[in-house]
């Protein structure tokens, strides 16, 4: 199973010819959450498509989450950060030949092209997350020379209408080295639309014809991103595989969680996908692994001598993994009620972070080596008991003078639903490093604030000389390492220190790495 783990510099990937694995990375901006999907060079064997070619492009692709992550404040880029209006020439539809001529691309049968099809392009996930993420890749020169992006959905839409829709969510986020509006115009010229049913081979065959026109006789590599509900994954994959696969390059499909509702349905989904694809063509991703602070987790631990010796039961009292949102389902209860907060957040996002946090040092940064260490952690986990869990469901509440409805008051939620919107669990890893240390997972909707963070509480200092200065509240004297994934990304260590003056008054202070301050103007979520 291809899972997303670690990223490599995008420019080295754009022309790589080896097979690859997929992985997500940072999100971006108030208008669009950015995630990078990159390919590690060793994860997959060389046979990756129906008809593999000796020379292929490794394509970084971006995706985003759909269950309500939160965004940090973004520092605007000069000349504006969003493209609200299109230039007149972008509203006209040109032939593939005219587009290639304008972009300076001559037909070369010896070169490869990449066609990225966003299946479900008219949905919120695509227009707010995926297209902005693809533009971020283009802005950072992470896409190859010859690429085309096609939106595919049931909605009737022209190329111009797609470009107008997409343009409203594009942002420039990194720096000022390129003119933002010019880059947006160039990107939008590569975006096209095809309307069709997800279960129609004829409609996908028509898409195939359009893709071939843009590919211009080059070796064609095709990537399909499924931005559609899980219940129609198989229909779309069947039609894309049978009617729109590449004839001379690779064909790959990106499937984002959830991979089924439980073990049995996940296995059934995999069996169905393998009727039309090989395992090497299927890329299953958890976009949360692309969060900047999640990616930095292994660097923090394995690249800093001061932390690795402390990363064990001898020094750590507990580890808390917290995910909270300050909004409810807001009319999207149909999807959520089928899964609930445990399946939606805890068993994927938070469990992935836990495995990365607790794993032993891998042999290398290759995806398989990291996966092997994560699997060891999961196999060492003690079965969860009901006594170690708390679940709940949010009720109607008032905040800031505004009254918000209860979960069951949402018209998209079945009447009398008992699906939990909050869950907390204490997990234990029965191995030599973590025996007896509780890993506390907490996730919920409609809570007081929105945040995602890892809190590592260290044990008290034995025989602490300064207990009397803190009174009886020993927790105040606890050192704590906080990794704030979102919003306002930061890593800080709480330490005890003396307040300046003649007395012996103690205080707690933070040794703080604040990303917005340290890496300005680089912006994240």
Which residues does the annotation mark as catalytic? 349
User: Strand pairing partners for 120?
Assistant: none
Q: Give a three-class secondary structure readout of 60-113.
A: CEECCCCCCCCCCCCCCCCCCCECCCCCHHHHCCCCHHHHHHHCCCCCCCCCEE
Give the Å distances, CA to CA, from 474 to 128, 302, 455, 483: 46, 30, 17, 22
Nearest to 26 by CA among 65, 58, 54, 52: 65
User: Strand pairing partners for 115?
Assistant: 148, 222
Give the Å distances, CA to CA, from 365 to 227, 298, 310: 29, 10, 22
> Do 437 and 318 meet the contact criterion of CB atoms below 8 Å apart?
yes
Nearest to 370 by CA among 37, 34, 10, 2: 2
Question: What percent of the chain is helix, strand and coil (3-state, nearest 5)?
Answer: 30, 25, 45
Let me know how long the chain is: 525
CA distance 178 to 194: 30
CA distance 129 to 166: 10
């Amino acid at each position: 199973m291809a899972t997303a783990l670690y990223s490599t510099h995008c420019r080295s990937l754009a022309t790589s010819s080896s097979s690859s694995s997929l992985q997500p990375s940072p999100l971006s901006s108030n208008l669009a959450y950015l995630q990078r999907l990159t390919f590690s060079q060793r994860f997959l064997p060389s046979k990756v498509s129906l008809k593999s070619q000796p020379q292929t492009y490794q394509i970084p692709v971006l995706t985003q989450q759909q269950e309500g992550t939160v965004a940090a404040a973004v520092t605007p880029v000069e000349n504006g950060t969003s493209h609200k209006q299109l230039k007149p020439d972008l509203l006209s539809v040109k032939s593939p030949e005219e587009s290639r001529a304008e972009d300076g691309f001559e037909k070369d049968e010896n070169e490869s092209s990449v066609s990225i099809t966003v299946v479900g392009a008219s949905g919120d996930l695509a227009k707010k997350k995926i297209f902005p993420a693809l533009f971020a890749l283009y802005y950072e020169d992470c896409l190859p020379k010859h690429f085309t992006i096609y939106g595919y959905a049931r909605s009737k839409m022209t190329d111009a209408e797609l470009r107008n829709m997409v343009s409203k969510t594009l942002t420039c986020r990194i720096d000022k080295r390129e003119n933002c509006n010019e880059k947006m115009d160039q990107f939008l010229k590569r975006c096209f639309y095809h309307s069709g049913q997800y279960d129609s081979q004829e409609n996908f065959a028509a898409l195939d014809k359009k893709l071939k026109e843009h590919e211009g006789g080059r070796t064609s590599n095709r990537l399909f991103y499924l931005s559609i509900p899980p219940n129609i994954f198989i229909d779309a994959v069947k039609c894309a595989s049978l009617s729109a696969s590449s004839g001379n390059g690779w064909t790959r499909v990106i499937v984002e969680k959830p991979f089924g509702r439980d073990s049995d349905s996940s296995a059934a989904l995999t069996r169905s996908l393998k009727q039309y694809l090989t395992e090497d063509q299927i890329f299953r991703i958890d976009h949360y692994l692309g969060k900047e602070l999640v990616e930095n987790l292994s660097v923090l631990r394995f690249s800093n001598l001061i932390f690795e010796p402390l990363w064990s039961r001898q020094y750590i009292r507990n580890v808390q993994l917290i995910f909270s949102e300050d909004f409810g389902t807001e009319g999207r209860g149909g999807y959520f009620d089928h899964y609930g907060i445990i399946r939606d957040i805890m068993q994927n996002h938070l469990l992935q972070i836990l495995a990365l946090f607790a794993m032993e040092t891998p042999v290398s940064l290759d995806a398989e080596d990291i996966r092997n260490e994560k699997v060891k952690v999961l196999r060492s986990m003690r079965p969860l008991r009901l006594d170690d869990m708390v679940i709940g469901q949010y009720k109607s509440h008032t905040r800031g003078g505004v009254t918000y409805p209860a979960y069951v008051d949402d018209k998209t939620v079945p009447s009398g639903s008992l699906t939990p919107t909050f869950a907390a669990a204490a997990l234990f890893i029965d191995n030599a490093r973590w025996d007896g240390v509780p890993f506390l997972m907490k996730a919920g909707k409609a809570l007081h604030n929105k945040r995602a963070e890892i809190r590592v509480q260290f044990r008290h200092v034995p025989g602490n000389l300064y207990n009397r200065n803190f009174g009886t509240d020993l927790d105040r004297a606890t050192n704590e390492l906080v990794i704030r994934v979102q919003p306002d990304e930061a890593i800080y260590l709480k330490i005890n220190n003396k307040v300046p003056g003649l007395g012996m008054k103690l205080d707690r202070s933070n040794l703080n790495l604040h990303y917005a301050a340290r890496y300005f103007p680089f912006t994240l979520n």
